[in-house]
Structure 1
Amino acid sequence: HAKDYVRMQWMMLQQEVADDFVIATGKQISVREFVRMSANEAGIEIEFSGEGVEEIATVTEVTDAEKAPGVKVGDVIVRVDPRYFRPAEVETLLGDPTKAKEKLGWVPEITVEEMCAEMVASDL
């Protein structure tokens, strides 16, 4: 989250000697998990099917019609688009913020769930 990132930048700048730090949560979440979390925040339950470029997410339930007007059960709301694949895609990324915690006392204050809720609320 930007607030955590800026707070970490400020803490780094307070050091007598410059050093490198990883700004990360130390937790991993898949794109699929984040999409499901976002859909739930938007009042939609989804189900994934297919594999690779054929994978889609389909609406299985609209839990909040006010947040999701016009969305119906059976609507496909996510499709994989191969144009967005990176040529040197890394299977997994996980930052280790241990050094920042030990040397600066920095830990992220905003969870991925809170960030997702904030992002969806901003777009609705």
Structure 2
Amino acid sequence: HAKDYVRMQWMMLQQEVADDFVIATGKQISVREFVRMSANEAGIEIEFSGEGVEEIATVTAVTDAEKAPGVKVGDVIVRVDPRYFRPAEVETLLGDPTKAKEKLGWVPEITVEEMCAEMVASDL
């Protein structure tokens, strides 16, 4: 989250000697998990089917019609688009903020769930 990132930058600038730090949560979440979390925040339940570039997310329930006007059960709301693949994609990305915690006392204050809720609320 930007607030956590900026707070960490400020803490880094307060050091007598410059050093490198990783700004990360140390927790991993898949795109699929984040999409499901976002859909739930938007009042939609989804189910994934297919594999690879054929994977889709389909609406299985609309739990809050005010947040999801026009969305119907059976709508496909996510498709994989290879145009957005990274050229040198790695299997897993996970930052280790241990050094920032030990040397600066920094830990992220905003959870991925809180960030997701904030992002969805901003778009609704």
TM-score grouping bracket, smaller chain normalisation: over 0.9
**Number of aligned positions between the proteins:** 124
Once the two structures are TM-superposed, the CA of residue 85 in structure 1 deviates from its matched residue by: 1.0
Matches within 5 A, 1:20-99: 20-99=20-99
CA deviations on 1:97-119 (whole Å, 9 max, x unpaired) are 00000000000000000000000
Distance in structure 1 (CA, Å) of the matches to 2:9 and 2:45? 37
What is the alpha-carbon root mean square deviation over aligned residues?
Answer: 0.3
Q: TM-score, normalised by structure 1?
A: 0.99
Deviation at 1:87, TM superposition (A): 1.5
SS at match of 2:45: strand
Q: CA deviation at 1:94?
A: 0.3
Secondary structure, aligned partner of 1:47? strand
Give 4+ residue runs of structure 1 displaced > 2 Å after superposition. Answer: none
Q: Deviations over 1:19-47 (max 9, x none)?
A: 00000000000000000000000000000
Q: CA deviation at 1:86?
A: 1.3
Give the distance between the partners of 1:115 and 1:25, measured in 2 at CA.
Answer: 12
Counterpart CA distance in 2 for 1:75 and 1:66 is 17
**CA distance in structure 1 between the aligned counterparts of 2:39 and 2:122, rounded to whole angstroms:** 14
SS of 1:3's equivalent in the other structure is: helix
Q: Classify the secondary structure of the residue corresponding to 1:78.
A: strand
Q: In 1, Cα distance between the equivalents of 2:65 and 2:47?
A: 18
Task: Provide the rounded CA distance (Å) in 2 between the counterparts of 1:56 and 1:29.
Answer: 18
In structure 1, C-alpha distance between the alignment counterparts of 2:10 and 2:2, rounded to whole Å: 12
